[in-house]
Amino acid sequence: MGAQIIDGKAFAAKVRGQVADHVARLKSDHGITPGLAVVLVGEDPASQVYVRSKGKMTVEVGMNSYEHKLDPDTSEADLLALIAQLNTDPEVHGILVQLPLPKHLDEDLVINSIDPAKDVDGFHISNVGLLGTGQKSMVPCTPLGCLMMLREYHGSLSGMDAVVIGRSNIVGKPMAQLLLGDSCTVTIAHSRTRDLPDVVRRADIVVAAVGRPEMVPGDWIKPGATVIDVGINRVDAGESKTRLVGDCDYDSCAEVAGAITPVPGGVGPMTIACLLANTVTACCRANGVAEPEGLTA
Ligand SMILES: Nc1nc(=O)c2c([nH]1)NC[C@@H]1CN(c3ccc(C(=O)N[C@@H](CCC(=O)O)C(=O)O)cc3)C=[N+]21
């Protein structure tokens, strides 16, 4: 077990502390309290847990939290009307619509109806385009959290070989953009990639974001490489219990890697910390206040 464990839980607590400092300053110097609205459609138990945890941490850092829980059969028109109202509400600086949405709702349409300046998930096409062209944008929380941990551990990422496994709009693609922005040589691998093990073996940085429990074994990892495990998979643990595992086989990867993020306690907590950071950033931009340093890409 040679790898250093990158403690996402501790790092996230530090980021939330920085966010809390900025929130306090916004209140005392400008009379502004950042506000985050979270919209949950339906009753998916996992989503309810995440939304509760986001609301709790939002309040802990001193921000206002607005939770909107809608029936699973909410019409698209009603959801769009709520978003339109949040878009114009001056107390709301960030809007997050929990994904996935029930199947009768058009996810792209809904996301693109959010004011890009309040799109703290960074999923709006306008933010995607800004990120892709290296312009100031709202950056998706999970990739931003991964980037922060990589920068903290390595300092500069310039010239490193990075392989991102997974090509989702939520993690894989924006992660690749951020790594490219930090001058990595970036490969995006996916289910059709030929010789995936060999592709991964070239990487100094491996970001696994496929959503398949423990699919990356240690013998795919170059000795000393840094492994960022984005997967959060709930698997059967016997005796009608479940446990969380990542996309990497932790024990075998930790034997070879130089550093690795655990699941739980790695990327997950950083995602929520970055959501709070994005909300402060959005609030500062909306009010012409200097935005916090080190909390954006
Ligand atoms: N619009 C939108 N934005 C999201 O950011 C978003 C979303 N929809 N839908 C669902 C996923 C999932 N997600 C997680 C965030 C934190 C943890 C987290 O903190 N996990 C803990 C463990 C939590 C547990 O024990 O279940 C950990 O990894 O240590 C997990 C999952 C954000 N998501």
CATH for 221 = 3.40.50.720
Pair 156, 93 in one domain? no
Residue 230 lies in a domain: yes
User: In this structure, is residue 127 part of a structural domain?
Assistant: no
Each residue of 121-177: pLDDT tens digit?
999 999 999 999 999 999 999 999 999 999 999 999 999 999 999 999 999 999 999
What amino acid positions are annotated as catalytic residues? 54, 98, 121
Q: Which of 142, 271, 272, 278 to mutate to test the pocket of ligand 1 (most atoms within 8 A of CB)?
A: 271
Q: How confident is the model at residue 1 (pLDDT cuts 50, 70, 90)?
A: low
Contacts 24+ apart (CB under 8 A), 182-185: 182/147, 182/150, 182/151, 182/156, 182/157, 182/158, 183/157, 183/158, 183/159, 184/157, 184/158, 184/159, 184/160, 185/159, 185/160, 185/161
Are 64 and 149 within one domain? no
| Radius of gyration, CA atoms only, the chain | 19
CA nearest to 140, candidates 292, 291, 278: 278
Q: How confident is the model at residue 30 (pLDDT cuts 50, 70, 90)?
A: very high
Pocket of ligand 1 (CB under 6 A): 50, 96-99, 121, 141, 232, 244, 263-265, 268-269, 271-272
Three-state SS letters, 11-39 = HHHHHHHHHHHHHHHHHHHHCCCCEEEEE
Q: Which residues are known binding-site members for NADP(+)?
A: 166-168, 232
**Ligand 1 mean position to 124 CA, how many Å?**
19
Q: What digits encode the pLDDT tens for the residues 259-270?
A: 999 999 999 999
Q: Determine, yes or no, domain membership for 276.
A: no
Do 151 and 55 fall into the same domain? no
For the chain, report the end-to-end CA distance as a whole number of angstroms: 32
Q: Which residues span the domain enclosing 93?
A: 31-115
Q: Are residues 176 and 107 in the same domain?
A: no
Asked if residue 278 belongs to a domain, the reply is no
CB contact at 8 A, 147 and 172:
no
In a domain, 134, yes or no: no
Q: What is the pLDDT of residue 19?
A: 98
What is the tens place of the pLDDT at every residue in 177-217? 999 999 999 999 999 999 999 999 999 999 999 999 999 99
Could you tell me if 96 and 167 lie in one domain?
A: no
For residues 286 and 290, give the distance between their C-alpha atoms in angstroms, rounded to a whole number.
Answer: 10
Q: Are 163 and 106 part of one and the same domain?
A: no
- Tell me, yes or no, whether 297 lies in a domain: no
| Domain termination site, one of 100, 115, 130 | 115
72 found inside a domain: yes
d(C-alpha 102, C-alpha 107), whole Å: 9
Number of domains, the chain: 2
According to the model, what pLDDT value does residue 277 have? 98
Same domain, 42 and 107: yes
pLDDT digits (tens, 9 = 90+) for 215-250: 999 999 999 999 999 999 999 999 999 999 999 999
Query: Which ipTM did the prediction report?
Result: 0.97
The residue whose CA has the least distance to atom 15 of ligand 1 is: 268
Question: Are 86 and 151 part of one and the same domain?
Answer: no
Q: Could you read off the pLDDT of 80-110 as tens digits, one per residue?
A: 999 999 999 999 999 999 999 999 999 999 9
Same domain, 149 and 215: yes
Pair (107, 35) in one structural domain: yes
CATH number of the domain within which 93 lies: 3.40.50.10860
In a shared domain, residues 216 and 107: no
